[in-house]
Each structure stands twice: as C-alpha cells, then as structure tokens.
Structure 1
Amino acid sequence: MKRNEFIKISSIASLGLAIFPQFSFNYFSETFTRNQLIGKGNPDIIGDSYTSKLHKSAKEAFQKMKAAAAKENINIEVVSAYRSFQRQKEIFEGKYKKFTAEGLSPEKSLAKIIEYSTIPGTSRHHWGTDIDIIDANAPRPANVLMPEHFHGSGPFCKLKMWLNDNAEKFDFFEVYTDNGNRKGFKYEPWHFSYAPVSVPMLTAYKEQIDMKKMLSEEKILGNEHFSEAFVSKYVSENIFDINPLLK
C-alpha cells in the first residue's frame, strides 16, 4: 500500500464515520480489548523473543521489507519489537528509581523519563506493530539508537535513506518524525509502525483507555504524581502528536 492509497483508505473510513455515526472504526477493523491495547496479552502476537515478537500481519509485512532491503545489501535487524506491559513497567520504574535516587523530584524524574521512554500501558510497542531497527551489516556503535547514526556519515544512514524511499511500500511509517513543530517524544529515525494495524489500535486506545485511571489501577510507581495536567499533556503530545499518516 503506497502513501496515497493509505490516505485514500483512511479518508474513506473517516467519511464512513461522518455519514454513518452509528459505526465505530471497528466496522473497518477488528475489535481490540483493553488488555491488547495496554500490552497485557494479544493472541495475534507471534514470535519467541523481544526482537521477534510482532503482530502476525506486521511480521509478514516486515519479512517482505527485510527481503527487499537485503537485495541492496542492507540487513534490517530488529532491536526491539513487541514489549509487554510488565517489561515496560520494569523499564519505567527502573528509571524512576534511578532519577529520584539521584536527587530529582518525582515530577522532574517523570519529565526526564518521557523524553524517550513511554509510560507502561501507553507504549506503541505493546501492540506488536512497532519496531526499532538498525542495519546489521553496518558497524555497530555502543549505543545503536542515536539519531546521528542514521544521518550524514552515520553507520545506519544507508538504511535510513532506503527506508525513506521504500518503507511505506510495505505499510511501515516513521512514528516520531524530525518535525520541529511536533511535540512529545524526541525524533526517532529507527522507529517504524505497521499502519494497517496500529492506526485502528490507536483509534481504539483513544476511545477505550482512560490513562489516569489505568495508571492508578495498575499501581505504576509514581502514579500519585501524575497530575491531570501532566496526563493531559502526555496524551496530547506523546501519544497523539505523531506522524499524521499514523492517525
């Protein structure tokens, strides 16, 4: 599906909602449960490790994209794919403990964490649609997921140029773009999402998940410091201020 085709389909779906308001987006897709949306179980996830677990449709599309890139001597390696709620909770709470132990206030610790890391229950990686990728054929720096590695003379610039030209042919779109007007998470040239599944999941997430309530129910460390203003800003900027083609 090319970009114009994807936009056309999304537009048709939106038009259908306008004309037939009794239909939800699920008329055009499957229904998603709360647990699927927050990373606590999804029967459509296949694979056996954090680098191979993906939604079955995303995995099939990724394999085709990987095969196409291989013809250009690019070996797309997934360094992070599906991430469960529990795993994201461990990452988040580990950083929260570290930053508060170093003397940062809970509020400043939260602000620092969400520069790059998501709050448990809000990660796109929970859906099995999103991947962080590098080129395994290139020299591997100590910290692979740095924007400078994907541009200029960086080891993954060839991969990034190939993705710019080809990723959308396989329905993968960059999530956190290098757009100066975009807020929320910082630029991630390695993070791509499989739109045919992630778009309806984002819609379902917006309709079903009360984030503040969810954080309280799941007893996330530091949740008492998630003010109404913080949650509202996080939802608006970190969850929804993304590539427009993924909304």
Structure 2
Amino acid sequence: MVTKEEYLGIDSSNLVKFQNPGESLEFLAEASSLKALKALIDDASLHGFDLCVASAYRSFDRQFAIVDDKFKGKRAVLDENEQLLDISVLSDEKKVLAILRFSAVPGFSRHHFGTDFDIYAKNCLKDGAKLLLTANEYEKGSYFYEFGLYLEKSLEKFGFSRPFSKRDLFGYEPWHISYEKSAMKVIQSFDINAAIAYLESFDEPWVKYAVEYVKEHKDRIFGEIYGK
C-alpha cells in the first residue's frame, strides 16, 4: 500500500539515490523503476545512445515552486506550439491553464511517484547546446529524432511507456517515460479527494484555479494519463 504522503510527493524515504555516470547531481527513484531504467540505459548504449536522466522524482514542494514561479513570471511559459507565451496579459485563470499544459498540478505529478523519468541522449546534443525538453527536439531532422525512434521501439520491452504521447489537454512530452508496473501500484492507492484537500490548504492565488482544473478534468487525468 502506497501512503498518501508518498503519492503526493511529501515522503521520499522509500526511494533510492542514483546519478548519471560521471555527474555529481543526485536523483531519487523507486528501486524497481531504477533497475528497469538501468537495463534500458544499457540497451540504449548498444544502439549508440548515451541515455541520461534530466529529472526523476520531484517533491510536492518542488512542483509547487515551479508552478508558483511560472505564475509570477519568474519562469518561462510555453504555448501549445512551444513558443514563449506572454502571460502578463492573461487573467489569473488563463495563466494557470497555460501553465498546466506542460506543468502538472502539485500533488498530481507522476514525478511524485519515483517511477517516472525525463530522459535524453547526451551524445546527440551538439557541444555546448542546452537541453530544452521540447517536442521540437524530437522532430524529423532534429538531434533527438533517431533517439525518439529507438524509444518508440524499445520502451515497452523494458516495461516503460510514454504517458504524455498526445498533443491534447496535456503537452506532448516524448522525453517523459514511466515504469508502468510500479506506477500502477501508486495510482491504485491514489485518492483524488485527499490530493485536492492537501492542495487547498495553500493560499496562493493560483491554487483555486488549479483545483477547479483538476475537478473539471479528473476523468481525463485519471483515465488517459493515470489509467484509473
């Protein structure tokens, strides 16, 4: 049984630390998911890709800060075409809707589970190029195109899926992979009302719109994305 504190990203004591080879930055992940990831990394290497992790477990507080910073204009917000959006001209409600296309509502992020990873092929980046984590990087002719084809063919073999694989309510994220077996254990324990109640305990002005968004789209969130 996964606890509320675990699926909300409040308690990470059940997770293990890991690093990309040759890097000092530490990540956290659920043990079975990490084992599967390492097998995927080894296979990717055989196919010429240096698969690295850009993001793994993300706490509630970290996700909350990301959304809060975007709402306050401290972080960039992209539109559905991944172009920079000027949110200063939008109402608070529309700001939140724009932010939530590519940033999960705190408490509802799959990155809280420890089963999901944002990945990339380090050796496919040009020297000095910055990783953007945009779908444009996976378009034909771009540097991650071949890597994306590899993922499409290989992820299922190692128990992974790409939960954000459509251009729909949520942004298309070909770099986001999830170890389904472990993720489903978390999802089966997930209580949407408990998650909403916890989020409502915060008084930032955008929270009420985020809660409204979850309530309006909960069937799609838990159907298309969480498989519940």
Greater radius of gyration (CA): 1
User: How far off is 1:82 after superposition?
Assistant: 0.6
Q: Which residue of 2 aligns with 1:212?
A: 196
Q: Which residue of 1 aligns with 2:100?
A: 114
CA distance in 2, matches of 1:108, 1:195: 32
Q: Which moved more, 1:230-239 or 1:158-167?
A: 230-239
**Contact 1:51–1:81 (CA<8 Å) still a contact in 2?**
no
User: How far off is 1:77 after superposition?
Assistant: 1.0
Asked if 1:175 corresponds to 2:163, the answer is yes
CA distance in 2, matches of 1:220, 1:44: 30
Q: Which residue of 2 aligns with 1:193?
A: 178
CA distance in 2, matches of 1:48, 1:70: 18
Map 1:40-55 to 2 at 5 A.
40-47=10-17, 52-55=27-30
Map 1:1-247 to 2 at 5 A.
31-47=1-17, 52-98=27-73, 102-140=88-126, 141-178=129-166, 183-205=168-190, 207=191, 209-226=193-210, 228=212, 230-242=213-225, 247=228
**Contact 2:162–2:177 (CA<8 Å) still a contact in 1?**
yes
Q: Which moved more, 1:63-72 or 1:139-148?
A: 139-148
Q: Which residue of 2 aligns with 1:21?
A: none
CA distance in 2, matches of 1:143, 1:67: 22
CA distance in 2, matches of 1:221, 1:45: 32
Query: What are structure 2's unaligned runs of at least 5 residues?
Result: 20-24, 78-85
CA distance in 2, matches of 1:242, 1:227: 17
Q: Tell me the SS of whatever aligns to 2:119.
A: strand
CA distance in 2, matches of 1:186, 1:159: 19
Q: Which residue of 1 aligns with 2:80?
A: none
Q: Which residue of 1 aligns with 2:83?
A: none
- Cα 1:136–1:226 change in 2 (3 A) is closer
Structure 1 length-normalised TM? 0.76
Amino-acid identity (%): 26
User: How far off is 1:227 after superposition?
Assistant: 5.9
**Contact 1:134–1:190 (CA<8 Å) still a contact in 2?**
yes
CA distance in 2, matches of 1:186, 1:106: 20
User: How far off is 1:44 after superposition?
Assistant: 2.3
Query: What are structure 1's unaligned runs of at least 5 residues?
Result: 1-30
User: How far off is 1:71 after superposition?
Assistant: 0.8
CA distance in 2, matches of 1:101, 1:134: 29
Q: Tell me the SS of whatever aligns to 1:53.
A: strand
CA distance in 1, matches of 2:56, 2:113: 9
User: How far off is 1:233 after superposition?
Assistant: 2.4
**Contact 2:199–2:211 (CA<8 Å) still a contact in 1?**
no
Deviations 1:97-131 (A, max 9, x none): 12898242210111011010011111100111111
Q: Tell me the SS of whatever aligns to 2:219.
A: helix
**Which AA in structure 1 matches 2:216?**
K
**Which AA in structure 2 matches 1:157?**
Y
Structure 2 length-normalised TM? 0.82
Deviations 1:64-87 (A, max 9, x none): 110111011111111111101111
CA distance in 2, matches of 1:212, 1:220: 14
User: How far off is 1:225 after superposition?
Assistant: 3.5
